[in-house]
Amino acid sequence: MRSFLLAAVVALIHSSHAALMIKGPTEPVLEGDMVTLECLNTDGDLNISRVHFEFFSEYMQGWNQVWWRSVRSYCFYDRAVEVEEDGEKAYLRLFYPTRFSGVPVRCVSDAGNATEPEYVSDSITFKVHYLRGPSLTMEGYSRYMEVPQDVKVRVGADVVVKCSASSSEEPSYFWQKEGSDWVLPSPLLKVTKASALDEGKYTCLAKNPSVESLNVQRTISITVLPKDAPWYKTTNGSLWLMTSCAALVLLACVLCVSVLLCRRAKKIKTSKGPIDDHSQKKPIYRTSVESIPSTCMDKQPLV
């Protein structure tokens, strides 16, 4: 009985280990990198040339085979996926791996079926790290427009600038002032009741928490104007003046187009159209009505 149980345990352990093994990148994958996955045969009985790769589709809720395909870039076609084998290993090269970031991938032998452990490997996932930006938005300023390089405010005004970046993970933000040793660990830069001491260059630094080399920054200048400075010299005043002028120009264009359309419609309404000569019928002669014989010289149109 004991030997039977031992044999059963050995068989269970053996069946729980797949003959195929998949390996992925050992270093963090950055946006723009190419990823190569390897499929190895640990058994020796399987033919590596009869192995394919599969990825799990959340949308389809199932495994789908990775096929060689290309993507169009400008006027050329670039390889997106490539599958190769050298007799010992099978390789899956992903030239644009962002699509497969966080997606389970495995290799499967065509000799058996994917429900049998010896014919399918365990799945692996990898993550593509990226960091884009940053972009700056200012309180009281249009969020649809870039914050200008030089922010101008009057003495005593408040300045609130938000720094944001697109990243594979929530980035860390730091504000620094040129020539100063203070560092503000926040995406928000707040300057309350600005004075001449607040003038200077401020830099927002965004960092990806997983990859130290991924960091981006953006610098702006804050200029503090005298309290009696004209309103249109401030950043918000310039924006208001610019948008007002644009609105007036647009309104003038709309009015001009409306006037032209009205004049054209009035002209069409009052003018007479051309006579349709094709609608005129041929003249009817008296002889055709009265049936009285006469010479051609006597024929007169019936009016």
The token duo for 253 is 């264009």
Q: Which of 1-15, 125-139, 207-221, 283-297 has the lowest mean pLDDT?
A: 1-15
Residue 260 lies in a domain: no
Residue finishing a domain among 113, 129, 145? 129
Measuring CA to CA, which residue among 173, 199, 196, 198 is closest to residue 184? Answer: 173
Residue 178 lies in a domain: yes
Residue 187 lies in a domain: yes
Residue 59 lies in a domain: yes
Q: How confident is the model at residue 115 (pLDDT cuts 50, 70, 90)?
A: low
* Chain centre to alpha carbon of residue 43: 44
Buried b / exposed e over 260-285, threshold 16 CB at 10 Å, is eeeeeeeeeeeeeeeeeeeeeeeeee
Residue 269 lies in a domain: no
> Which pLDDT belongs to residue 229?
86
Q: Which of 38-52, 117-131, 196-210, 258-272 has the lowest mean pLDDT?
A: 258-272
Q: What is the mean pLDDT of residues 177-202?
A: 94
Residue 252 lies in a domain: no
Residues 98 and 165 in one domain: no
Q: Given the DSSP bridges, would you call strands 89-94 and 131-138 parallel, antiparallel or unpaired? A: unpaired
pLDDT for residue 302 is more than 60:
no
pLDDT for residue 65 is more than 80:
yes
pLDDT for residue 162 is more than 60:
yes
Per the CB < 8 A criterion, the answer to whether 158 and 190 are in contact is: yes
Per the CB < 8 A criterion, the answer to whether 251 and 167 are in contact is: no
Q: How confident is the model at residue 238 (pLDDT cuts 50, 70, 90)?
A: low
Residue 149 lies in a domain: yes
- Supply the pTM of this predicted model: 0.66
Residue finishing a domain among 95, 113, 129? 129
Q: How many CB atoms lie within 10 A of CB 31?
A: 15
Q: Which domain holds residue 18?
A: 14-129
Residue finishing a domain among 107, 129, 151? 129
Residue 173 lies in a domain: yes
* Chain centre to alpha carbon of residue 200: 35
Q: Given the DSSP bridges, would you call strands 128-129 and 29-30 parallel, antiparallel or unpaired? A: parallel
Domain count, the chain: 2
Residues 69 and 137 in one domain: no
Q: Give me the percent of the chain exceeding a pLDDT of 70.
A: 72
Whole-Å CA distances, 271 to 53, 161, 262, 265, 274: 75, 62, 14, 10, 10
- Alpha-carbon distance of 39 to 123, in angstroms, equals 11
The token duo for 42 is 């640990």
The token duo for 239 is 């924006």
Residues 36 and 124 in one domain: yes
